Amino acid sequence: MAMNAVRALWGEPRAPLAPKRVWRDWVLLALLLPTAVLEGVLRPDLAWRPVALVWALVVLVTLLWRRTHPLAVVAIAFGAAILSAVAVLVADAPAVGLNTLVAVVLLPYSLTRWGSGREVGIGLLICLVALVLGTAADYTGITEAVLGGVFLFTPAVLGAAVRYWAATRHRELDRMRLQERALLARELHDTVAHHVSAIAVRAQAGRVVAASHPEAAMEALVVIEAEASRTLAEMRVMVGALRAEEVAALSPQQGLAELERLAGKVGDGPRVEVELSGDLADLGSPVGAALYRIAQESVTNAARHARHATRIDVRVVGDGEWIRLTVDDDGDAGAAGPAGFGLIGMTERATLLGGSFVAGPGVERGWSVAAVLPRSGVAG
């Protein structure tokens, strides 16, 4: 188990979308470079002054690449520190380095924030070696050594924490985007499929009667134009929501008041009868929208799949706490109902509101759909 965890961490890819440079980097560099030059020139106790100054300037400039090349920058900065510590230990010389180089504390943060698992492992090892040799070259006590380690590696822990938070947030945003796209796909299916079905039925009817009843064919073209315009408008709204970077403004949802639009006869298809009864006042907006979408999808499915059906009955009954919707057709007994995305979408709509949904062959003939939704949209 432990080895698997180590392999997983070692194989972790780099964090995505690492910025190359931002304005803060240039401000930081504009502050650090003059400070390093002034310290290198004015500090009286500085050993190996030219070497220390050049080392500091090179290391500070490499900070500009700390996000895109975190391991390389760590290797340059802390590799130089290792060489300096080794030289001090071998030659028994005073410690070399400017106080301005304290800015390298940014590098462990960048390493764990942006580096791959392999880079983090190698880079932290380099930092640890530099810390041990640096402490040995200028040992002032165990307390200072421990505080130095804490000072160096706390940014690394912070970088890992920020990386974990960013990855979690990114995954959550991806999940929300996928969920929203699934909802929009369901809306697209529920809405557009109904209109396209009506267009297809009208076109078939118009083709049949075109020769003998041209006026009926013209009526069919008018209906097709209206349905096509409505479908195009709804598709534009949904595609706009998919493209929008911010939360899209929602158009008014169709609800119970629009249910009666489903009534009537389209072409040679079955006639749709809509009956509303009981207490249907003050319904929650999600409930009204769900009732309309479930009824619309059920009517569309019946028009497509109910063989020899002449009538589709849509009934909505409201009582104190629940709203009951039934959609029945008089097609052939035992006719198979659709088992595609439509039924899945209707089931999801009902269950998300705390209700229930069932569909299957009718008691006597045809296909029957029944949905029961809580009035408020939340199950009690």
Q: Are 362 and 376 in contact (CB under 8 A)?
A: no
39 vs 52, 148, 187, 370, 379, CA distance in Å?
10, 22, 67, 82, 71
Residues 6 or more apart from 122 whose CB is under 8 A from it? 71
What DSSP element (H or E) covers 226?
helix 214-243
Say if residue 182's pLDDT is above 50: yes
pLDDT in tens, 255-312: 777 888 888 865 667 888 999 988 888 776 678 888 888 888 888 888 877 778 888 9
In sign, the C-alpha dihedral spanning 148, 153, 155, 157 is negative
**pLDDT at position 327:** 92
3-state secondary structure of 373: strand
3-state secondary structure of 273: strand
DSSP assigned state of 278:
E
**pLDDT at position 248:** 39
- Of 140-149, 192-201, 229-238, 311-320, the poorest mean pLDDT is in 229-238
The mean predicted confidence, pLDDT, of the chain is 80
Q: Are 66 and 78 in contact (CB under 8 A)?
A: no
**pLDDT at position 253:** 57
* Reported pTM: 0.53
Ramachandran class of 97: left when φ > 0, alpha when ψ lies in -120 to 50, beta otherwise: left
* Rounded distance between C-alpha atoms, residue 265 and residue 281, angstroms: 28
User: Which amino acid makes up residue 344?
Assistant: I
3-state secondary structure of 340: coil
Residue among 118, 12, 111 nearest 67 (CA): 111
**269-380 in CATH: which number?**
3.30.565.10
Domain ranges in the chain are 2-139, 269-380
pLDDT in tens, 140-155: 788 888 888 899 999 9
Extract the tokens encoding 75.
């290797």
